[in-house]
Amino acid sequence: MSEQCKIKSALISVFNKDGLAPIVEELKRLGVTIYSTGGTQKTIEDLGGEVVPVENLTDYPSILGGRVKTLHPKVFGGILSRRDHEGDREQMAQYAISNIDLVVVDLYPFEETVASGASEEAIIEKIDIGGIALIRGAAKNHKDVVIIPSMDDYSTLLDILKNKDGETSLSERTQLATRAFRTSSHYDTLINKYLESALEDVNPLDNLNLSVPEKKSLRYGENPHQEGRFFGNLDDILKQLHGKELSYNNLLDVDAAVNLMEEFMDCEPTFAILKHNNACGLATRNNLSEAYASALEGDPISAFGGVLIANKAIDMATAELIHTLFCEVVIAPSFDEDALELLKGKKNRILLERQATPLPKSIVRTALNGYLVQDKDSQMESPSDLTCVTNKTSDDKAISDMLFAMKIAKHTKSNTIVFAKNNQLVASGTGQTSRVDALKQAVEKANNLGLSLEGAVMASDAFFPFPDCVTLASEAGIKHVVQPGGSINDSKSIDACNELGLAMYTTGVRHFRH
């Protein structure tokens, strides 16, 4: 049997009737027999097409309020019959079943109905049963049948009808079948997600069930020789107001910036500057322009080409300061009108408005030939979570700086050490293979920028395995230390603090970030 198949009959059952006119015109031109039901049938007839009602095939009307229309052996026999199978041909003749060569479906808008806030009853009624069955049946028998599973594939069908007179190759039918199963899989995933949302005892880590059809092509991946795409609806989180398209690396930095600033959304005006996913400047002040200036002071060199983010609306005073810096991205909950116009002065500068949509509660990443899934690190310590383990204690101001520093450490690549003073990031050591190297890096950075560490606090994302970090920190001027604790050598670090006159507090919570 030839791999080429000619469309002689078609079943059309679509929720959205837009875009049918040119298809019906071509089916008429080719003399294709059209089967349909209900509203689709009326639309085709209004467009001048002749329709054989499905009820004429099945001898059953649409029943149960439209829940059952096409679910019948005379429909699915016509779709699933194997044209080169002698037994199938004999049964098709025995039961007077006609072959169906083309199936066109557009499913009930389940996702849109959920998003509209409709009632549970309305949402359940938008779970398509017949349409999904038609898609799966035609896709299974793609050796003989063409499946068009959504409006997104109408252009493909028109090309087949117009330029190939309704004749398809097995390769074309296989490609459409692949799209069909992707469509049905995504649809079922959305239904599963909706039903699970009503349950209280579902652990999202028990089953990884992802389907994200929205994709955005990126200029390239991390490097120009790598292809890159973003899957998801970015507009739900960020509204782009100006600038060039976001790159792969931009998106990684933006993700890090947005997650970091979540820790400070309820704080006084706070500004952060990030480079390569890590904060190189961060400060909380009485107004946003002061917060920006203090954040920039932490590392003006690394800030060049960085990602900037604020927890408050960016006003003109802050915008004027930002405008003098070359930066890739600026993110804020909103921008004052005059500030926005000024920042638009650099055509490539990306300006993003953070939407109120909450961030996901779990993290997914590829690893080897599978995926790693974990709960998001949503814990952040409060003053009551700090336990003083030294003779010396810290005042409220130092404790505030400890918590400030730990928020930054939580969102900085491990191993990390963070120095902070007066709600300002002074310096950090990031992504080092040893904690003492991270500390030395932070000290060197502060010294190179002429930033005093005298009286600053030190935060560590994990415990100190040896007392060397405490000794080096003391030599640099550190007076207060906060760390998770839990090392078998905790007592050595505590003893070192007591000898050097440092205050040390433990949290009992590690914040690794790999």
Residues belonging to the active site: 140, 276
State the virtual CA torsion across 15, 162, 153, 175 in degrees, nearest 10: 130
Rounded-to-integer distance, Cα 432 and Cα 129, Å: 54
Give residues with Cβ within 8 angstroms of 203, minimum separation 6.
Answer: none
Place of tokens 């983010």: 309
Q: Per DSSP, what are the bridge partners of residue 505?
A: 388, 482
Residues belonging to the chain: 514
- Report which of 453, 444, 462, 320 is spatially closest to residue 377, judged by C-alpha positions: 462
Q: What is residue 164's DSSP assignment?
A: S
- Report which of 436, 439, 438, 498 is spatially closest to residue 466, judged by C-alpha positions: 436
**How remote is the C-alpha of 337 from its chain's centroid?**
29
Handedness of CA 472, 475, 476, 480 (dihedral sign): positive
Reading the block at residue 250, the tokens are: 């931009």
Reading the block at residue 225, the tokens are: 């020789």
If one counts every other C-beta atom within 10 angstroms of the C-beta of residue 384, the result is 6
- Report which of 226, 253, 222, 220 is spatially closest to residue 238, judged by C-alpha positions: 253
**How remote is the C-alpha of 148 from its chain's centroid?**
28
Q: What is the DSSP string of 227-262?
A: --EEES-GGGTEEEEESSPPPHHHHHHHHHHHHHHH
Reading the block at residue 17, the tokens are: 């009737």
Contact 330, 314 (CB under 8 A): yes
- Report which of 391, 321, 340, 377 is spatially closest to residue 510, judged by C-alpha positions: 377
28-63: b (≥16 Cβ within 10 Å) or e: eebebbbbbbeebbebbeeeebebeebeebbeeebe
Reading the block at residue 324, the tokens are: 């003098």
Reading the block at residue 165, the tokens are: 């007179």
> How many CA atoms, within 13 angstroms, populate the side-chain half-sphere of residue 27?
28
Rounded-to-integer distance, Cα 510 and Cα 182, Å: 40
Give residues with Cβ within 8 angstroms of 90, minimum separation 6.
Answer: none
Q: What phi and psi, each to the nearest 5 degrees, are found at residue 266? A: -95, 10
